[in-house]
Amino acid sequence: MRWVLVVLAAIAAVLFAGFLFIEIRGIPSYPLERIELKVEVTPERVARGKKWANLLCSECHGDPTTQRLTGKLMVDAPPEFGPLYAKNITQHPDKGIGKWTDGEIAYLIRTGVSRTGKYVPPPMPKLTGLADEDLASIIAFLRSGDPAVVAADVDDRESEPTFLVKFLCLVAFKPKPYPKQPLVAPSTGDKLAFGKYLADNLECYQCHSKDFKSNRQPPETSDGYMGGSNMMLDLAGKKIYTPNITMEEATGIGKWSDAEFRRAMKEGFRPDDSPVLYPMPKYVELTDDELNSIYAYLKTVPKLTARRPPAEAQPRTDLKGGEATFYKYRCDSCHGETGVGSCDLRQSGKKFPTPELLTAFIKNPQSVVPNAKMPPWAKVIKDEELGPLADYVRSLGEK
């Protein structure tokens, strides 16, 4: 019994020492590789880079009130990862990335290692497969005069990674190698290859596979690849589960047409007119051909039967008037209970001085704001519900 106790005490001591080592060391740092890169900023690259930045960066780094890439609390990050903050990536020389070289930006995007050598764990993507020209376009956009990236005097807030994140950074989360060969995007004429390129670099698998912690490279080796049921959080901190986007007919999107898929991706509505809920963004930047290519690729993904659990938050039935409409159509999914979510509804009264102007925006946002990610509600919300809804939205600013 004495020897058993000695062995158990030794094991406990080793485990405790390991815990202390991981906890004190924190997120590791790595040697830096100097990347010689100087991106020529052209209007074409800035336009394409803005598209990629809207697809990849804005969801995490965009402030919902200012729409500038100054960072924010990532409320939908896995709770077991701890409070996570996206960084200020505007051109501010001290509080942003204004002093970073093009090579340092490229190295972070490719490998996940910052210019200080410190590793940035998920959900920061590591775009090892993004074509060189698309990467150069993102950097050109970050160097441009676009209001989203001009220098903003906003302090970063430090993330508070949990022991789990620190442990995973020891055994699973590692920097990706910087590509040694030039990377070229597949031809748009090859729908399957181009669709896989888009799906991989938009990281569809990260959310739509089984669990963030079991995602791998290459993406198709992740557990439950594209089968969904990954637990995420909405803006109120309630659990929501990602859908199955394989072509399985009963639980996936096997019955969807390509037009229905495009509508879900760009407008945010399923074939039955129910809204696609946050944290799924609206990919208004993608062309029909690009979405058709993603759809063509998804048709080749092995079908999985994965019926996701219901979301923790359900439509409320205890309300009246415009507030009832707000929750009936799950506006709270994107805007939260206070109106501050993916964009700040409290500003509606200033942007739209009359209820009629706001109603017109709700019905067809892109007719008022090009490339707005707000779904067009004209054919979904009943006409008699629009006026009270507009009044309620305007009241959020007053509150």
Is the per-residue pLDDT at 271 higher than 90?
yes
Let me know if residue 75 belongs to a domain: yes
pLDDT per position as a tens digit, 84-120: 999 999 999 999 999 999 999 999 999 999 999 999 9
pLDDT at 172: 80
353 cis-preceded (ω within 30 degrees of 0): no
Let me know if residue 336 belongs to a domain: yes
Let me know if residue 277 belongs to a domain: yes
Same domain, 283 and 325: no
pLDDT at 47: 96
Residues 307/311/317/320 CA torsion (nearest 10 deg): -130
Same domain, 60 and 153: yes
List b or e across 363-393, with b for residues whose CB sees 16 or more CB atoms inside 10 angstroms: bebbebeeebbbbbbeebbeeebbbbbbebb
Same domain, 60 and 136: yes
The CATH number of residue 66's host domain is 1.10.760
Domain that holds residue 143: 43-171
Same domain, 201 and 241: yes
Alpha helices in 267-347 (DSSP H): 288-298, 321-328, 332-335
279 cis-preceded (ω within 30 degrees of 0): yes
Is the per-residue pLDDT at 18 higher than 70?
no
Same domain, 156 and 209: no
Same domain, 286 and 230: yes
Let me know if residue 258 belongs to a domain: yes
Distance set, CA 120 to CA 28, 172, 270, 302 (Å): 9, 13, 35, 32
Question: Could you tell me if 271 and 260 are in contact, meaning their C-beta atoms sit under 8 angstroms apart?
Answer: yes
Let me know if residue 186 belongs to a domain: no
Please report which confidence band the pLDDT of residue 64 belongs to, taking 50, 70 and 90 as the band edges: confident
Same domain, 326 and 367: yes
Q: Of 256, 237, 232, 234, which Cα lies nearest the Cα of 245?
A: 256
Same domain, 195 and 167: no
Question: Could you tell me if 360 and 346 are in contact, meaning their C-beta atoms sit under 8 angstroms apart?
Answer: no
Let me know if residue 119 belongs to a domain: yes
Cα–Cα distance between 30 and 236 in angstroms, integer?
A: 36
Is the per-residue pLDDT at 371 higher than 80?
no
Phi, psi of 214 (to 5 degrees): -110, 15
Is the per-residue pLDDT at 349 higher than 90?
no
Alpha helices in the chain (DSSP H): 2-25, 43-56, 58-61, 102-111, 132-142, 163-171, 191-201, 204-208, 258-266, 288-298, 321-328, 332-335, 348-351, 355-363, 365-368, 383-398
Same domain, 166 and 269: no
Q: Of 220, 202, 61, which Cα lies nearest the Cα of 134?
A: 202
Same domain, 276 and 379: no
Joined together, the tokens standing for residue 350 give 């200033």
The H-or-E segment that residue 231 falls in is strand 231-233
pLDDT per position as a tens digit, 198-238: 999 998 998 999 888 777 788 899 899 999 999 888 877 78
Same domain, 151 and 196: no
Same domain, 282 and 352: no
Number of domains, the chain: 3
